[in-house]
Amino acid sequence: MTKHLKNILLVIIAVVITAIGGSFTVKANVGVGAYEALNMNINQLTGIKIGTLAIVLNMTCVLIQWLLLKKDFSFRQFLQVPVTLILGQVLNVMLYTVFANITIEQYWMKIAMVILGGLIAAIGVGSMMALNYINMPLEGACMAFSSRYGLNFGKVRQIVDVLLIASALLIAFSTNTAVTVREGTIISMFLFPPSMNFVYEKIRASAAAQELSIDLD
């Protein structure tokens, strides 16, 4: 198996894991992250499936990267398109098939699902970041914007989260749909980044150790 094929397969696995984790937090329905919040509010207004909306948002992010980077947008980054399709389809399968007939009444179970979903998603995103082969579309768009205008990536990413949450709240309050930014959002904010970083650091350290072992042999 070639290195590129191996990386593509690992990316697909990481994306599937990420989508499964995201579906848990959406199903819990006690608040989701900024990205999912906007999709859920649009879903309430239009009836379009959440995974399908995720595809549209991610495709928009890929388009933004291409417009900002132009010739610097590498061919490999076009692989974000199939990544986007896989992510959206897995979300739809989980939410509208696997979880379709499951009703969760107990509040503690909803919180448990948010925590479990956050940890699962952290494994997926952390693995993808450690692989450093293809960016997730939203992160890629933020990176392209920060690179194009000489801004700090972390600050750009935070601003985007604020804008997404603000948009979700605006839709909720102006259309009388359910508010999707709740306690689960706060839990995710505190749980997801350190968990993702933990996975990232562990995988990178393991990869470095393997490379050192090969060099010594």
What is the pTM (predicted TM-score) of this model?
A: 0.85
| Pairwise CA distance, residues 187 & 31, whole Å | 9
Predicted confidence (pLDDT) per residue in 138-163, tens digit: 888 988 898 889 888 778 888 888 89
Query: Which residue, chain included where needed, has tokens 């450093």?
Result: 132
215 phi and psi, to 5 degrees?
-65, -40
Domain locations along the chain? 3-216
Phi-psi region of 178 (alpha: psi -120 to 50; beta: other; left: phi over 0): beta
Q: Which residues contact 78 (CB under 8 A, 6 or more apart)?
A: 62
| Pairwise CA distance, residues 44 & 180, whole Å | 10
Choose the most confident range, by mean pLDDT, from 47-61, 73-87, 201-215: 47-61
pLDDT band at 22; cut points 50, 70, 90: very high
Query: Which residue, chain included where needed, has tokens 């993808």?
Result: 128
